[in-house]
Amino acid sequence: MRKTQAQHWSLRGAAALGALLVPSSIALAAGIGQPEPWQMDRQVAVTAEAHDLHVFENWLHWLAFGISLFVLALIVYVIFKFNEKANPTPSRTTHNTMIEVAWTIIPVLILVAVAIPSFRTLRTQLSDPKADVLVKVIGHAWYWSYEYPTSEGDKGGFTFDANVDEDKQPKLLATDNDMVVPVGKIVKVQVTSGDVIHSWAIPSFGGKIDAIPGRLNQWWFKADREGTYHGQCSELCGARHAYMPITVRVVSEQAYAEWLTEAKTKFAAIDNGSRLADAR
């Protein structure tokens, strides 16, 4: 029994070490729509914006790695070149104009190189394309409400709440009611809060937006792959902050139309019943 357990831990240790020795882009396959055990990479991107963010992040990692190696090389060079044994008479040089110009200009150029793709990605995220589907998301302590307004291109017109369902898998990531959107369509999400600050985040979509009382923030995404995608409130909001998951199901256009018809009847009836109860 002890030998088997020791072998088990050895295999896990070897897997972790192997993950550290390969690039992050291929390290222990990332989850699709949810985290996976021993995952070391981001969740699989299902929007163009999320993919761009992943590429940008990996590029920054390699840039930081190169800078670290350069600084390490300088430190090693100084240790061996200017130690007491190699230089019994220390240099009295106090200024070097070329070095000072270089260590000012080069960091500025690096920051500019980082800023350009960063601003480009941010501009895309904050753009306002014409939406195929509009959903209003309201954060509460501690659940989410989703409003599908009635419009010419959207047969919505209903509201429902999404609470954590602790009996469903994945644990603490599943909700009793899911937000449903069609694949390949631009979904505009308008986010606010009814009490304290929350944050609506879906890692696979590459987006996170704060839900602030009295303010309507906006974000959009276009998922290119059907599936169920999970997220969580990403702003510490109180005692049950960890029990405030987000579930978005991306389905075909036909399945979305069928869900809209069913949901409009189901949630409209619940909403009308609640209003009658309040009136009494």
Residue 31 counted as domain residue: no
Residue 207 has phi, psi (to 5 degrees) of -140, 150
CA dist., res. 86 & res. 208, Å (int): 55
Among 72-81, 148-157, 178-187, 203-212, the minimum mean pLDDT is found in 148-157
Helices (H), 82-196: 97-125
Tell me how far apart the alpha carbons of residues 207 and 195 are, in angstroms, rounded to a whole number. Answer: 22
Torsional sign, CA 182, 183, 186, 188: positive
Q: Is residue 177 part of a domain?
A: yes
One domain, residues 157 and 96: no
Domain boundary among the residues 90, 109, 125 is at: 125
Query: 138 and 159, same structural domain?
Result: yes
270-275 average pLDDT score:
48
Distance CA 196, CA 139 (A): 8
Final residue in a domain of this structure, among 107, 125, 143: 125
161 shares a domain with 115 = no
Find out whether the peptide bond into 170 is cis, omega within 30 degrees of 0: yes
pLDDT at 19 over 60: no
**Confidence (pTM):** 0.74
Kindly tell me if the per-residue pLDDT of 248 is higher than 50: yes
Residue 191 falls within a domain, yes or no? Answer: yes
pLDDT at 40: 83
For residue 135, the model assigns a pLDDT of 94
pLDDT band at 11 (very low <50, low <70, confident <90, very high): very low
Q: H/E/C letters for each residue in 29-65?
A: CCCCCCCCCCCCCCCCCCCHHHHHHHHHHHHHHHHHH
65-106 per-position pLDDT tens digit: 999 999 999 999 989 888 888 888 877 878 888 989 999 999
By CB atoms closer than 10 A (0-12, 13-18, 19+), residue 178 is buried
The dihedral built from the CA positions of residue 10, 12, 15 and 20, taken in this order, carries a sign that is: negative
Q: Are residues 211 and 241 part of one domain?
A: yes
Burial class (CB in 10 A: 0-12, 13-18, 19+), 99: exposed
Task: Assess if residue 1 is contained within a domain.
Answer: no
- Domain end position, chosen among 74, 105, 125: 125
Across the chain, mean pLDDT equals: 83
- The tokens describing 39, both together, are 């995952």
> What per-residue confidence (pLDDT) applies to 75?
94
State the pLDDT at residue 20.
Answer: 43
Q: Give the count of domains, the chain.
A: 2
Burial class (CB in 10 A: 0-12, 13-18, 19+), 209: buried
Q: Tens digit of pLDDT for each residue in 235-246?
A: 999 999 999 999
Domain membership of residue 71 as a residue range: 48-125
Residue 17 lies in a domain: no
Place of tokens 């260590």: 103
How big is the CA angle at 162 (ends 157 and 164), to the nearest 5 degrees? 170
Do residues 179 and 253 both lie within one domain?
yes
146 and 225 assigned to the same domain: yes
pLDDT greater than 80 at residue 13: no
β-sheet bridge partners, residue 140: 143
Tell me how far apart the alpha carbons of residues 137 and 180 are, in angstroms, rounded to a whole number: 12
CATH number of the domain to which 113 belongs: 1.10.287.90
pLDDT confidence of 218, banded at 50, 70, 90? very high
Do residue 256 and residue 192 come from a single domain? yes
186/211 same-domain check: yes
pLDDT tens profile 126-168: 888 998 999 999 999 999 999 998 755 555 588 999 999 988 8
When pLDDT is cut at 50, 70 and 90, the band that residue 268 belongs to is confident
For residue 254, the domain's CATH number is 2.60.40.420
Q: Are residues 172 and 206 in the same domain?
A: yes
pLDDT(261) > 60: yes
Min mean pLDDT across 4-13, 53-62, 126-135, 137-146 is at 4-13
Q: Are residues 275 and 183 in the same domain?
A: yes
Distance CA 129, CA 131 (A): 6
Which of 45-54, 104-113, 217-226, 264-273 has the lowest average pLDDT? 264-273
Residue 274 in contact with residue 230, Cβ under 8 Å?
no
